[in-house]
């Protein structure tokens, strides 16, 4: 039997990442480009797809697309699957289109939660499923611009929270009076300054984030620490407040698993230790593992037809 080619595309706001899987489930080829949806003009998404990986695509292949490409600002908006959500639910709720080459395009949904407060994700769910065993219970932390804390129970996403830690830090650093004191030349990571910031955030709960942030400026002006410490101390304060809120959720089942950029995950690991919590670094290529499971390339036949029963939809 001829192998039906499987291609997966993780297409976010800033980046385009594509993987072509071999019949044995290994990655035969991969491609990355700074061609996120924000760089695409006039909705020319298929033009970009053809430009980046058109030589991979033929009539007899499935192309799975995940991330912001399936959002309201993307190629084809796909409604969210609500928690509890699993891979079968994502696959069953995908929307289909046909490419100019006749390939089947599968636009995967994101995941949403409504209670106790509304939250959404698109793309991170693939990393989550690639970092847990099919029937595992765990809490996954995905640091980044919009950091996610995700609760998985028996292989299903049951709850999550988003923290704008990375975005807030970037805004404070570039556009606030606090950031004006940060040296223009980036300094090596100062773990002690970062831990001081984390401990400050975890300290007096009556003070809050806004006052803690300002003390980064006032402390430097008063000579309590050097200006070289400002960036990492500010990072520690922002991440420390995220840790305070995340740990208060009570999602503790063993060590927290950190998935994403290695350096950022290691920074969060330092923060967790300062908070007295256990953490571990997850797989380096969680998205690839999640896509592999989704595409049923681990020796299982694909079964993504309309008759599939959605979970938590």
Cα separation, 162 vs 282, whole angstroms: 19
Question: Taking Cα atoms as reference points, which of 116, 186, 178, 149 lies closest to residue 272?
Answer: 149
Distance CA 123, CA 111 (A): 9
Task: Domain 163-281: state its class.
Answer: alpha beta
- What's the pLDDT at 178? 94
Question: Stretch 196-211: mean pLDDT, rounded?
Answer: 93
User: What does the angle CA 303 – CA 156 – CA 242 come to, to the nearest 5 degrees?
Assistant: 135
| Token pair 């996954």 in the structure block, residue | 140
pLDDT of 160 above 60: yes
Q: What is the pLDDT of residue 296?
A: 65
DSSP summary character for residue 54:
G
Q: What is the pLDDT of residue 93?
A: 92
pLDDT band at residue 205, thresholds of 50, 70 and 90? Answer: confident
pLDDT value of residue 311: 35
For residue range 137-154, what is the model confidence (pLDDT) as tens digits?
999 999 999 999 999 999
CATH number, domain 5-131+285-294, options 3.30.420.300, 3.30.930.10, 2.40.50.180, 3.40.50.720: 3.30.420.300
Which residue, 166, 230, 233, is CA-closest to 201?
A: 233
163-281: same fold as 5-131+285-294? yes
Q: Look up the pTM and report it.
A: 0.88
pLDDT tens digits along 59-94: 888 999 999 999 999 999 999 999 999 999 998 899
- DSSP 8-state code for residue 220: H
Q: pLDDT tens, 295-305?
A: 763 334 333 33
In this predicted structure, what is the pLDDT of residue 306? 33
Can you tell me the distance from the alpha carbon of 200 to that of 209, in angstroms, rounded to the nearest whole number? 10
Residue 155 has pLDDT above 80, yes or no: yes
User: So what's the pLDDT on residue 128?
Assistant: 97
Domain ranges in the chain are 5-131+285-294, 163-281
For residue range 275-313, list pLDDT tens digits in order: 999 999 999 889 889 988 887 633 343 333 333 333 333
Q: Which of 128-142, 173-187, 248-262, 291-305 has the lowest mean pLDDT?
A: 291-305
Per-residue confidence at 35, pLDDT binned at 50, 70, 90? Answer: very high
What mean pLDDT is reported for the chain?
90
User: In terms of DSSP bridges, do strands 156-163 and 147-153 run parallel, antiparallel, or are they unpaired?
Assistant: antiparallel
| pLDDT band for position 4 (cuts 50, 70, 90) | confident
pLDDT(3) > 90: no
70, 95, 164, 312 from 80: Cα distances, Å:
10, 11, 20, 10
């Amino acid at each position: 039997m001829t192998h039906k080619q499987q291609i997966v595309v993780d297409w976010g706001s800033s980046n385009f990442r594509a993987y072509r899987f071999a019949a044995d489930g290994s990655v035969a080829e991969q491609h990355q480009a700074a061609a996120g949806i924000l760089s695409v003009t006039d909705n020319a998404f298929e033009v970009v797809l053809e430009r980046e990986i058109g030589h991979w695509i033929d009539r007899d292949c499935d192309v799975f697309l995940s991330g912001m490409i399936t959002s309201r600002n993307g190629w084809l908006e796909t409604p969210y699957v609500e928690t509890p959500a699993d891979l079968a639910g994502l696959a069953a709720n995908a929307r289909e289109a046909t490419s100019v080459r006749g390939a089947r395009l599968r636009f995967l949904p994101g995941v949403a939660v409504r209670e106790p407060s509304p939250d959404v994700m698109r793309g991170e769910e693939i990393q989550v499923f690639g970092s847990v065993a099919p029937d595992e219970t765990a809490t996954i932390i995905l640091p980044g611009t919009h950091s996610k804390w995700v609760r998985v129970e028996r292989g299903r996403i049951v709850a999550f929270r988003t923290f704008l830690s990375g975005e807030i830090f970037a805004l404070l650093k570039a556009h606030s009076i606090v950031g004006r004191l940060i040296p223009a030349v980036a300094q090596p990571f100062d773990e002690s300054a970062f831990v001081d910031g984390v401990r400050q955030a975890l300290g007096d709960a009556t003070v809050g984030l806004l006052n803690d942030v300002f003390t980064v400026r006032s402390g430097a002006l008063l000579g309590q620490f050097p200006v070289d410490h400002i960036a990492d101390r500010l990072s520690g304060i922002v991440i420390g407040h995220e840790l305070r809120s995340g740990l208060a959720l009570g999602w503790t089942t063993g060590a927290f698993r950190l998935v994403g950029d290695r350096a950022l995950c290691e920074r969060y690991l330092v923060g967790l230790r300062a908070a007295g919590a256990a953490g571990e670094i997850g797989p380096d290529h969680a998205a690839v593992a999640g896509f592999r499971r989704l595409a049923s390339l681990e020796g299982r036949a694909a079964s993504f037809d309309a008759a599939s029963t959605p979970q938590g939809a």
